[in-house]
Amino acid sequence: MVRVRFAPSPTGNLHIGGGRTALFNWLYARAKDGKFILRLEDTDKLRSQQEFVDEILNSLKWLGFNWDEIYYQSQRFNIYREQAEKLLKSGLAYTEKLPDKPGEAIIFKVPQQKIKMQDLIHSGIEFDTAVIKDQVLIKSDGTPTYNFACVVDDATMDITHVIRGDDHISNTPKQVLLYEALGFKLPKFAHLPLIMNIGGGRLSKRTGATAISEYRLMGYLAPALVNYLLLLSWSPGENRELIDIKEAIKLFDLTDVNKTAATFDLKKLGWINNQYLKNADSDKLADEIIPMLIEKNYIHKDGFDRNYLVSIVKLFQPRLLVVNDFADWADFFFLDEPNMDPAAEEKYLKKDLSREFTLFIERLDALKSFDIASIEESFRGLISELGIESKALIHPIRVALTGKTIGPGLFEVIYYLGKERTKERLSKFIK
RNA sequence: GACCCCAUCGUCUAGCCUGGUCUAGGACAAGAGCUUUUCAAGCUCUCGACACCGGUUCAAAUCCGGUUGGGGUCACCA
């Protein structure tokens, strides 16, 4: 049975690269009907923190990567020591006491040989271990080193496929040697290409957010982020960009993963997020938006009209890049007065439109039914009577009502704003 | 520096394994236009790549070698 693992170190947040590694592991496990194991590599007592464990677990849950088993390396120190002593007994390792260190370290005597490793993504990778120095297994403070704990765990946890970032390629020969020395069966390796910054180099904070949780906070949808991450070094083929995870599980295989490092492109993530937002269930989307509106004091916790809110969400849905945009773009529905963009006012409301606005209000008042079609009809009637172009009046009205030059169709805006608020906002510009 | 990995439009990629169907396809971005109403939505169009050199072959984006470029790793961090 396929058993894969994702092994983050709780010394920081789950970042984009880690999320992608988790995705490919999880995906492979689900595709092969195997197990996805989570292992917290918290051997560094000083840098490992519970808050990071929580953060990583929460991000993983949010992305939808449920794990079948979970382990903490800090609870397995006796296992590592036991294995190290095995090597000591067989003469494959030796101890060393440094004057400035508390205790004895156990060190692996690296044998000189050429190693050819198989990799599911790369072709054969060759190494000459002559360039590798002897490896510390157990540090003088009694904690295991990364490479040693990793090998012992992967072997004892029966990991069949080690799927991890490219940056671990040079660790692999060291680990292969350890597998051999300990008499463990070698897993299959798959090294994923790294995700890079726009300017080159490994993805870092320098050019933007790196933590998965930050993207969540910015208003990206988990399935959209997963879809984007999936496209970085894998393709479903047939010129497809949008693919949901269930379908990806059916199509995914490790051997189809690219070897080339991919640049993280926020614009494309934005496009994908918009695609998901557009097709999202308005009711569910409203659930995500409501807390944001409450926080901004736009609505009151238990005093708002849900159906009305969902209608407004629908209005903006095709345009949203991130969920958070809603609160900014639709603010005029919730504020007593629109947040006026000075440039917009200067451009469209400088001219005196008292007569036009007055006539429009009269027409709205005369309406038998205040619905979108009737509102548009009355507007069209007015401009033909005045003999002007529709846009000469549409833009000023939009700015007067919303404070912005951009937004949904004007007649929908008027309808959902309501007759009274529309009149009130237009009246402000009648001298 | 040593070792390792990688190399198709600005970006993500399809094609490469199993050479000919590739005057290299799609998407994002950018630019232009359309939409008797904006754009941040939609539609149409445009721009734009096989890093270079050599080899194998009737034929190379595809196979081989080298060069160049980019990236990664070289800790008693993980």
Residues A380-398 have pLDDT tens digits of: 999 988 888 888 899 999 9
Asked if strand B contacts A377 at the CB level, meaning under 7 A, the answer is no
Furthest C-alpha separation in chain A: 100
Question: What percent of chain A is predicted at pLDDT more than 70?
Answer: 100
User: What does the pLDDT look like over A185-201, one tens digit per residue?
Assistant: 999 999 999 999 988 78
Distance A262 CA to B47 C1' (A): 23
Q: Which nucleotide shows the minimum CA-to-C1' distance to residue A97?
A: B76
Average pLDDT, chain A: 94
Query: For residue A386, what are the CA distances in angstroms to A372, A390, A430?
Result: 21, 10, 17
Q: Which residues of A spanning 141-160 put their CB closer than 7 angstroms to strand B?
A: 141, 143, 145-147
Q: Which residues of A spanning 275-294 put their CB closer than 7 angstroms to strand B?
A: 275, 278
Q: Which nucleotide shows the minimum CA-to-C1' distance to residue A204?
A: B71
Residue A423, token pair as written in the block: 């009149």
Asked if strand B contacts A407 at the CB level, meaning under 7 A, the answer is yes
Asked if strand B contacts A134 at the CB level, meaning under 7 A, the answer is no
Average pLDDT over residues A38-57: 96
Domains of chain A, each with CATH number or no CATH: 3-73+195-271 (3.40.50.620), 76-192 (3.40.50.620), 280-333 (1.10.8), 342-427 (1.10.10.350)
Distance A20 CA to B20 C1' (A): 38
Please calculate the CA angle A304-A305-A306 and round it to the nearest 5 degrees: 105
Is A314 one of the annotated active-site residues of the chain? no
**Per-residue confidence at A240, pLDDT binned at 50, 70, 90?**
very high
Average pLDDT over residues A200-213: 87
A205 carries a ligand binding annotation: yes
Q: Of A229, A199, A319, which Cα lies nearest the Cα of A208?
A: A199
Supply the pTM of this predicted model: 0.95
Q: Is A271 exposed, middle or buried (0-12, 13-18, 19+ CB in 10 A)?
A: middle
Contact A72, A81 (CB under 8 A): no
Asked if strand B contacts A125 at the CB level, meaning under 7 A, the answer is yes
Report chain B positions within 7 A of protein CB atoms: 2-8, 10-15, 25-29, 36-42, 70-78
Q: Is the pLDDT of residue A203 over 90?
A: no
Task: Give the per-residue pLDDT at A302.
Answer: 85
Contact A96, A113 (CB under 8 A): no
Task: Give the per-residue pLDDT at A301.
Answer: 87
Asked if strand B contacts A408 at the CB level, meaning under 7 A, the answer is yes
Asked if strand B contacts A318 at the CB level, meaning under 7 A, the answer is yes
Task: Give the per-residue pLDDT at A303.
Answer: 84
Q: Is the pLDDT of residue A101 over 90?
A: no
Q: Is the pLDDT of residue A123 over 90?
A: no
